Amino acid sequence: MVRIHIQLYGQVQGVGFRYHTRNEASKLGLVGYVENRADGSVKIVAEGEEALINQLLAWARTGPKAAQVDRVEVTYDIPTDEFGTFSIER
The catalytic residue positions are: 18, 36
C-alpha 16 chain-centroid distance: 12
Residue 43 pairs in a beta bridge with 7, 35
Q: What angle do CA 42, 77, 16 make, to 5 degrees?
A: 20
Q: What angle do CA 57, 33, 67 make, to 5 degrees?
A: 50
